[in-house]
Amino acid sequence: MLQTDFPLSLQRELNHLLECVPRMHRALGRNDADLGDLPGWSELVGRPGRIIAHEGRVCLVCVLFGPSGAGKSTLFRLLTGIPVPAGETRRPMTFHPTAAVPEPLRDILNLAELFPGYQLQPLRDMDMLQNLLLDGPKPGKDLFFQYYRRDQPERLPGQAWLVLVDVPDFNTVERSNRTRAEAMLGRAETVIFLVYPEAYKDAAVMEQLQAAAGRAGHLIYMITKVSAPDADKAARTIWEDVRYHVRRAPEFQTMRGDGRRISEFVEQAGVYYARRDPELRLEDIRALNPDAPDFWSLVTGQDALEVYWSNLLEVLDQGLTTAQGLAREAATAREELRQHLITADQRIVEVSERIAGSQFPAGELVELIIDVVKESRPGWLRILTLPVARAAGMLLSLRGLFAKFRKTERKTVLRDRRELEQRRLEEAVDVLLSAWRRDNPTETALFSTGRCREAARRFQEYAPPPVRDDWKEALRADVRDWSRRHPWYGSLVGTLSEMLVLLGGAALVLDLAVSGGIFGAVGQLGVAGAAGAGSLGAGTVLKMFEELKLKDILEKADVKWRSQRRDELETHLREHLARPLFVNDWQQRIQSLDEADPEACLTGVKAIRASWPRRDAGARP
C-alpha cells in the first residue's frame, strides 16, 4: 500500500536543504544567478514548500504540452469546462499559461504556494490570454488561473485534485512561447504531450519532446486527430516511428537525473490516442496498451496518486544528488583550503628555519658566560689559577685561534644582525612568493604579479622583530653547572672578555651561510652544520668553545637560538606577508564553508532518502 503521509521531520530536512544549498553555492564563490543551472535544482525549488493536500487528496499539477493545433485547448475544456481559445484558426491563440483549479479548493489552496515564482492573475476574460502587453517584469512568469466545477459527478471519487495547466503553443512564430512553455515543465507532476499525425516528426516537436522527457516525472504521449477507421493501427504506427527515432537520435541519449536515458523514459510513457472528432469525449481517449488505466484514472485516480509520489521522488532525486554533490564539493574545497594553508605555512617555517640557522650570536653567548661566571664564582676561587703547564697550553691554543679568526675570518663572517636579517628576509619573500604561486596555480588572481609586488613592498616597511632574551635565560643553569664542574676555567675571565671583543659583542652575529646560499641546495646550517659544510669562521669559533669545555653549551645555545628566532620570524612573515596576501581570504572562505555546513547537508540528504514515503523498500530517491 502506498504511504501518503509526509513526515514533518522530512519536510524540515527538505526546507533545510533549500536553505543550505544556496549558502554552499555562494561559499564556493558562485553567483546565485547560476543556481538554476544545477541539475534538478530549479525543479526542486519550483515544487511547493510543503506537500499540498485537502481532504486527504493531494494536488496534482498536470501540464498540457505540444505544438499548435494538437488539441491542448480542446482537452483542457474537456477536463475543466473552461473555454480557453483554440488554435485552429489563428496561431498562437494564447500567449500565457492558464491554470484550472478545482472549485472546492478556492478558499483552501494558496496558489502562490502551489506555483512559487509565478505572477498569478485571475482570468476574467479569455482575451487576456492573447495580450502580450500583460507580461510582468519577468517574461514567462505570468500565470492566469480560473476555478472550475466538475460536470461528471460519477468521476468525483478520485484520489487527487487535478490542477490542469494549458501552456502556449511552442512551435509558432512567437519565440517567447517556448520560454513560457518550458518554464512550466519543472512544476508539473505529469506532462501530457499532445501531437497529431501531420506534425509529430517535426524538428521543433521532437526537440520539445526531448525537453519534456528530460524533466517530466511522468509522461503521457497522446496522439490526437487520428483518422478513422483503423485509428488504433494508425496510432500504433506513429508510436513505433517515434520509438524508432528516439532510440537512434543522439539528443535522446542524454541521461536524466534518475540515471535513465531520455530515450528509455520516452519508451516507458503511457500512450493514448483519440480519433478526429469535433464532439470528442473523455471516453474517446483510448490507451494504446489495453492493460493501461483509463485516461481519467491516470490524471485523477489512484494511478495519478502514485504518479504524484513517484514524480516528486524523481524530482527530489535530481535535487538531492545535486545537493549531495555540492556538499561534497564544498567539504573538499574546505579541506583543500586547509591543506593549502598548512603547505603555505610550512614554506614559512622552512625559510624561517634557514634564516635563524644561518646566523648565530656567539658574542651574546660569551657575554652571558662572563656574566654567569662573575656572579657565581666564590671569592676565594678568584685568586686560583690553572696549573701552569695546562694553562699555558690552553692559552697558547686560544691565542692561535684568536689570531687566525682576527686575521682571515672576522670580516668575512661577522655581520650586523639587523642588516643581515633584513637582507635575508627580503630574499625569503621572493622565495615564498615564487613557492606560493607554484603551489597554487589556480589562484591566479590572489597571487597576481601586482598583488605579490605590493605585498613585498608593504612587508619591507616592517623592521625584523626584536629578539627576546629567553634563549639566553634558558642557558644560565647550564653555564653555572659548567662553572661548577670546571672551577679553574672561571679564572679566565680576561680571556673570555678578549673573546667577546673579538666576536663583536651583542651587536654582531656569525654569518653561517656557505656556497649555495641559505635558500639553495645546502642543508640546514647552525654552527656545527656550517663548520661541517666548510665555513672556516664557524669551525674556528667551534674550536674556541671546545678548548674552554663549552662545546655542549654552544650546541645547546645554537638549538635554543634557532628555535626561538625561527618562531619570531615565522610570526613576522605570517602577520605582515601571508595574512594580508592570502591567509585572510582563505580563512574567510573556510568560515563561509563552515557556516554552509556541508556535513549537515549530507546528513539531511541521507535522512530524506531513508524516510521517503514508499511502496516498497526499493522505492527511494
Q: Each residue of 254-280: pLDDT tens digit?
A: 987 666 899 999 999 999 999 998 888
Identify which has the larger pLDDT, 259 or 455: 455
Q: Tell me the β-bridge partners of 100.
A: 146, 164
The pLDDT score that the predictor gives to residue 392 is 61
Query: Tens digits of per-residue pLDDT, 107-136?
Result: 888 888 778 778 888 987 766 555 544 444
- Residue 362, pLDDT above cutoff 70: yes
- Residues in CB range of 127: below 8 A, 6 or more apart: none
Q: What proportions of the chain, in percent to the nearest 5, are helix, strand and coil?
A: 60, 10, 30
Domain boundary among 329, 359, 392: 329
Residues 269 and 293 in one domain: yes
User: Using an 8 Å Cβ cutoff, are 87 and 196 in contact?
Assistant: no
Structural domain contains residue 114 = yes
Q: What is the mean pLDDT of residues 299-306?
A: 71
Same domain, 299 and 368: no
Q: What percentage of the chain reaches a pLDDT higher than 90?
A: 38
| pTM of structure | 0.65
Residue 380: pLDDT over 60: no
Whether 369 and 321 map to the same domain: the answer is no
What is the enclosing helix (H) or strand (E) of 403?
Answer: helix 388-404
- The pLDDT-based confidence of 575 (bands split at 50, 70, 90) is very high
pLDDT in tens, 553-573: 999 999 999 999 999 999 999
Domain boundary among 329, 362, 390: 329
**Are 194 and 290 found together in one domain?**
yes
Residue 498 included in any domain? yes
Query: In this predicted model, what pLDDT tens digit does every residue of 170-196 receive, in sequence order?
Result: 655 445 555 655 667 767 778 999 999
Closest CA relative to residue 581, chosen from 335, 338, 333, 341 = 341
Rg, the chain, Cα only: 42
Average pLDDT over all residues of the chain: 81
Rounded Cα distance between 218 and 307, Å, is 7
Q: Are residues 351 and 290 in the same domain?
A: no
Return the minimum-mean-pLDDT range out of 432-436, 540-544, 609-613.
Answer: 609-613
Same domain? For 64 and 149 the reply is yes
pLDDT of residue 609: 80
The CA–CA distances, whole Å, from 121 to 110, 135, 146, 149 equal: 13, 11, 9, 19
The answer to whether residues 310 and 439 belong to one domain is no
The whole-angstrom separation of Cα 359 and Cα 363 is 12
Domain count for the chain, please give it: 2
Task: Give mean pLDDT, residues 224-242.
Answer: 92
339 domain residue, yes or no: no
Residues 317 and 367 reside in one and the same domain: no
Q: How many CA atoms lie within 13 A of 118 on its CB side?
A: 28
Shared domain for 431 and 539, answered yes or no, is yes
Of the two residues 469 and 40, the one the predictor is more confident about is 469
Note whether 321 and 350 are same-domain residues: no
Q: pLDDT value at position 485?
A: 82
- Say what the pLDDT of residue 133 is: 44
Dihedral, CA atoms, 336, 316, 34, 173, nearest 10 degrees?
A: 150
Distance CA 465, CA 603 (A): 48
Query: Is residue 387 pLDDT above 80, yes or no?
Result: no
Quick check: is 615 in a domain?
no
Q: 217 with 316: CB under 8 angstroms?
A: no
> 579 vs 296, which has greater pLDDT?
579
Same domain, 390 and 276: no
Query: Does the residue 619 lie in any domain?
Result: no
Banded model confidence at residue 602, pLDDT cuts 50, 70, 90: very high
User: Does the pLDDT value for residue 147 go beyond 50?
Assistant: yes
- 223-237, 290-304, 538-552: segment of lowest average pLDDT: 290-304
β-pairing, 218-226 with 359-360?
A: unpaired
Average pLDDT for residues 272-296, to the nearest whole number? 89
Q: Is 147 helix (H, G, I), strand (E, B) or coil?
A: strand
Q: Are residues 468 and 528 in the same domain?
A: yes
For residue 178, give its domain range. 54-329
| Cell numbers linked to 493 | 675571565
Residue 606 lies in a domain: no
